[in-house]
Structure 1
């Protein structure tokens, strides 16, 4: 049995009486005060996440830009220094290896942030593709811990312990500076649908920064947030999760990520298949669902129409913000019609759901 990995904040989670679970080979907090309470804290105030399990890959060299362009579906050529790009990364068949954030320092230096459970697989894939480019690709995950402070009060709380002018960091931009005397990469990004920051730093300072941020935000009700609320928050904002909305058998176009697929740029892995799919129409579409009968649609439950299986649930849960049971489902494209009634098969029983717009929550 492989021993689960732990972040530098493991002892802090224990002292906060977090409930811990295995997540992609990591022992991580799923909740502290409770998922719904934590969810509302992020939507209304601010919450602090330990996301030190995420993977980081450094790309350097004279052909770094060309390499990144080949690797991802989005257009890194339009990315300015100090800016960040979200993109799927595809196999030649158009299926998704992973989705990632691309940080651009300059045309010869990029910093890629990948999903925790995919880090080793992604790194191996990148090394294989790098053979044709003058680049050095390095897995630097062990050199970084990461915290995410998310919610409408994030900026005011973090500003109390840094001299960096956080208001000048625009959405999907990053800078370097000290927080409580610790050198950090600070980016205005997140995975909750709220404003916030993701902070990267040397793992030895993990407990110091965790405690300092909670202390700085104590008067505003900031609290630690587990993976349970992280999932309901990202789900309401229609932010995809690898293994649910994304996977090796799902293309970015099927997952509704066409805006991040730039077919007008030069060659990239999977372009030919995605171009054909765009021209011919996708066979499946991701749709929003609202349960109209009692029940919660869980990930991978079958979806049926008139007794015929037409797809499956990718994510589903009770929505604390909307106070109703909702889901996302990948179904046959011709049936993806607003107002259509489908059956969610919950333990063999058909439970009715209605197709609704899939962006369940948008701040402001």
Structure 2
């Protein structure tokens, strides 16, 4: 058996990676970006240092995000990034290799699930388990999902939005939408290119979204911010003032897709559990839940109370850590294939 603190929970997100070390809590929170030497394939930088290089690297260095839409897009880079984060979180422990719990979106295929588990094993894990994001988010948000009562979680991350109704320690109905923070950034880039003939990067779009972004007219109206980019007409650098109303307009398409997915899950919910949700409402987690007005909008659209978790960004990572402490009461949904935990009743 391992010594204390050797179990690791990883929120392997499209935008950022959070690492939970048993006994210490969240010890690492870094962007999921890797900078590689184009010729040798060697790691040049990982995490925050690599993120600063996005769009700014010379020809021999490539900065990339190895995860797209919540799943592995570049296996080798993901493995190298995971190894770096595991080593950084718990240090070189000699022969002691940790058990690792990694979260996955609820809609992944068996191939995508195996890729995540295999990457964790190759990165140095003794055992690799996976847990669905809505289940981890609910555990991290402190919801009592073991009771025969309905709870609903909406987790808006960087690559995916996971929506689930949970009861008796399992997922009753769910939807995983590959529309989340990244698609919102892309929508802002398209809007500014179309309306202002200005090309901006995804980092600048994310900054706009975080500082003046709103998805409800009553929240954050009247704010503005200067953004710099390349003028598509002259080809020269240019500064444009963008208002919160423009960001509201730009975000309509991805946000309405998320609202539509939430309504679909509610339509699939058994009536007894739907009755529970009238009082308990919807709990929101993930970085996307911090966009101003999204709780107000969801509440208006569904007629249910909507609450944002205390630390929405950390919920999934905290949930993976809690799941590791419950391995004794977890059963495997498919023992022959491996390791997607479902809480026992």
Q: Provide TM-score, normalisation by structure 2.
A: 0.31
Q: Provide TM-score, normalisation by structure 1.
A: 0.30
**Structure with greater helix share of residues:** 2
